[in-house]
Amino acid sequence: MFPDKCTDPRNKELDKSSSDAFCALVKKMPDFAYTASKLVITKVQSTDEWESIQALSLLDSCMKTGGTAFQNEVGKFRFLNELIRLVSPKYLGPRTSPKVRDVTLKLIHSWTVTYREPKIREAYDMLKKQGVVIDEPPVQPTKSTPKKAIDQEFENKLKKLLSSRNPEDLEAANRMIQNKVLETDRRTSELDRVRTNIRLLSDLVENNQTGDVSQEDLQLMEDIHKECEKLRPVVFRLAGETHDDESLTDVLKISEELTQVQFSSFSAYSSSLFVRRCFRRQQCPVIIFTITLRVYLS
């Protein structure tokens, strides 16, 4: 499945079915994420405005439903640089239509809020400093239904079923109650799992700031860090499933804590530990050069 059909300039409107199929394939095959990102960005940089707009829509859909592997590819400088080229006056900016430029900037800005990937924020801030971003586009707030309205709708439907003399309605009411309990338990369990991993990783990093860390603790930190990475899509899903502002605030707070412990606390600690060890082995110049080269090429 290639994005040609999704972005065909002859399409009269966005081909949602083809877009959904492509995103599903990307999610099912994480190893395909890099190739998929290359295919999509090629379409985004098309000189045909409608083809480019369709490709940007496909890109946004893949970010939302294509899985973590695709999000990671978009969060790398090698991909972000291609988007920067599209809007920068030094590169493809002069030939890019105002509509494509605006949609591209709005996408990048929305990702800085939704995905909290540091490199996306760095890319957007760079565009602001270069004067490419003049008026920062507002992020459209997610429409949410007040919790009281949802509870009232549930209670009204349940009351109607319970007042019925039809055995099937009574069975449906029983299923509603069971599903409500299971859904609450599932959300609570998943959020507790995220909180637990955040706390464990934070405590391990804090307790090993001084002195050398044992190999066992280091391995444990790496394992918990990997588990935190697996939990990021869970937090995104929970945010999408949340319908009331109070619960959404709680989920977003946990998401921010998860990002903080992954990309700030643990990453900074790992870098510091790595440098301390390489100094001991007198290999620092070679190692630092290697790290710098990897960052440059990422």
Tokens 């706390």 locate to: 199
207 vs 142 pLDDT, higher one = 207
pLDDT above 70: residue 82 = yes
DSSP 160: H
What mean pLDDT is predicted for residues 248-274?
Answer: 68
pLDDT-derived band at 152 (thresholds 50, 70, 90) equals low
Q: Average pLDDT over the chain, rounded to whole? A: 77
- Please state, in angstroms and rounded to a whole number, the distance separating the CA atoms of residues 36 and 117: 19
pLDDT of residue 292: 43
pLDDT of residue 62: 92
pLDDT, tens only, 56-73: 999 999 998 888 889 989
Tell me the two tokens of residue 252: 């977003």
pLDDT above 50: residue 147 = no
Per-domain residue ranges for the chain?
16-129, 147-297
pLDDT-derived band at 261 (thresholds 50, 70, 90) equals confident
pLDDT above 90: residue 282 = no
pLDDT of residue 223: 83
- pTM recorded for the entire structure: 0.49
What are phi and psi for residue 191, nearest 5 degrees? Answer: -65, -40
- Give the list of residues 6+ apart from residue 170 with CB closer than 8 angstroms, or none: 161, 162, 164
pLDDT of residue 213: 66
140 vs 112 pLDDT, higher one = 112
What mean pLDDT is predicted for residues 125-135?
Answer: 82
Nearest to 199 by CA among 218, 240, 227: 227
pLDDT, tens only, 166-175: 878 778 777 7
pLDDT, tens only, 18-64: 898 889 888 888 888 899 999 999 999 999 999 999 999 999 999 98
pLDDT above 70: residue 264 = no
- Give the list of residues 6+ apart from residue 219 with CB closer than 8 angstroms, or none: none
| Domain at 147-297: CATH code | 1.20.58.160
pLDDT of residue 198: 84
With contact defined as beta carbons under 8 Å apart, do 107 and 56 qualify? yes
CATH topology of domain 16-129: 1.25.40
280 vs 177 pLDDT, higher one = 177
With contact defined as beta carbons under 8 Å apart, do 194 and 233 qualify? no
- Please state, in angstroms and rounded to a whole number, the distance separating the CA atoms of residues 54 and 40: 10
pLDDT of residue 117: 74
288 vs 84 pLDDT, higher one = 84
